[in-house]
Chains A and B, each alone.
Chain A
Amino acid sequence: MPKSDIEAIVEALWKAPTKENWGKFVKALPKSKLKYYKVVFKKGKIKRVGDLVHDYAELYDAKEKLVTKIPIYQKNSGKIDGATYFMKGLLTLNRVDEWIKA
Chain B
Amino acid sequence: MISQDLKTLEERSIYIIREAKLKFKNVAALWSMGKDSTTMLALTRKAFLGKIPFPVIHIDNGIDYPETYEFREELAKKWNFKVIVEKSKIMPDSVGSACCGKNKPEALKKVMKEYGFDALIVSIRRDEHGIRAKERYMSPRNQSFKWDYKNQPAELWDDYSSKSDAKGHIRVHPLLDWNEIDIWRYIKQEKVPVNPLYFSRNGFRFRSLGCTHCTIALKSNAKNVDDIIKELETTKVEERSGRSMDKENEYVMQRLRALGYM
Min C-beta distance of B103 to chain A, whole Å: 9
Asked if A84 lies at the interface with its beta carbon under 8 angstroms from chain B, I say yes
Number of A-B contacts defined by CB within 8 Å:
87
Number of interface residues of A (CB under 8 A): 32
- Beyond A81-B62, A84-B64, whether A96 also contacts B212 by CB under 8 A is no
Chain A residues closer than 8 Å to B252, beta-carbon distance:
none
Asked if B201 lies at the interface with its beta carbon under 8 angstroms from chain A, I say yes
CA distance A25 to B67 in the complex (A): 16
A91 touches B98 (CB 8 A): no
Type the 1/0 row for A82-96, where 1 means its CB is closer than 8 Å to any CB of B: 111111111111111
B90 touches A90 (CB 8 A): no
- Beyond A84-B65, A84-B212, A91-B67, whether A48 also contacts B92 by CB under 8 A is yes
CA distance A35 to B204 in the complex (A): 17
Min C-beta distance of B74 to chain A, whole Å: 10
B244 touches A101 (CB 8 A): yes
Min C-beta distance of B219 to chain A, whole Å: 7
The residue of chain B having its C-beta at the shortest distance from the C-beta of A48 within the complex is: B91
Min C-beta distance of B131 to chain A, whole Å: 20
CA distance A64 to B201 in the complex (A): 12
- Beyond A39-B212, A49-B90, A95-B217, whether A89 also contacts B63 by CB under 8 A is no
Min C-beta distance of B196 to chain A, whole Å: 8
- Beyond A45-B98, A87-B66, whether A93 also contacts B202 by CB under 8 A is yes
CA distance A75 to B91 in the complex (A): 16
Asked if A72 lies at the interface with its beta carbon under 8 angstroms from chain B, I say yes
* A37, A39, A92: residue with the most chain B Cβ atoms closer than 10 Å: A92
B217 touches A84 (CB 8 A): no
Min C-beta distance of A78 to chain B, whole Å: 15
- Beyond A46-B99, A48-B91, A92-B197, whether A99 also contacts B66 by CB under 8 A is no
Min C-beta distance of A74 to chain B, whole Å: 8
B69 touches A85 (CB 8 A): yes
CA distance A45 to B215 in the complex (A): 10
- Beyond A81-B87, A82-B61, whether A46 also contacts B66 by CB under 8 A is no
Asked if B109 lies at the interface with its beta carbon under 8 angstroms from chain A, I say no
* A46, A87, A101: residue with the most chain B Cβ atoms closer than 10 Å: A46
Chain A residues closer than 8 Å to B67, beta-carbon distance:
88, 91-92
Min C-beta distance of B123 to chain A, whole Å: 23
CA distance A81 to B89 in the complex (A): 8
Could you pull out 12 A-B pairs where Cβ atoms are within 8 angstroms?
Answer: A39-B213, A41-B213, A45-B98, A45-B213, A46-B98, A48-B91, A72-B212, A82-B63, A84-B63, A84-B64, A92-B201, A95-B204
Which residues does A use to contact B, with CB under 8 Å? 37, 39, 41, 45-49, 51-52, 55, 72, 81-96, 98-99, 101-102
- Further pairs besides A46-B213, A47-B91, A72-B63: 20, Cβ < 8 Å: A37-B66, A41-B213, A46-B90, A46-B98, A47-B92, A48-B90, A48-B91, A48-B92, A49-B90, A81-B87, A82-B61, A83-B62, A84-B212, A85-B69, A88-B67, A89-B66, A92-B66, A93-B202, A96-B217, A99-B244
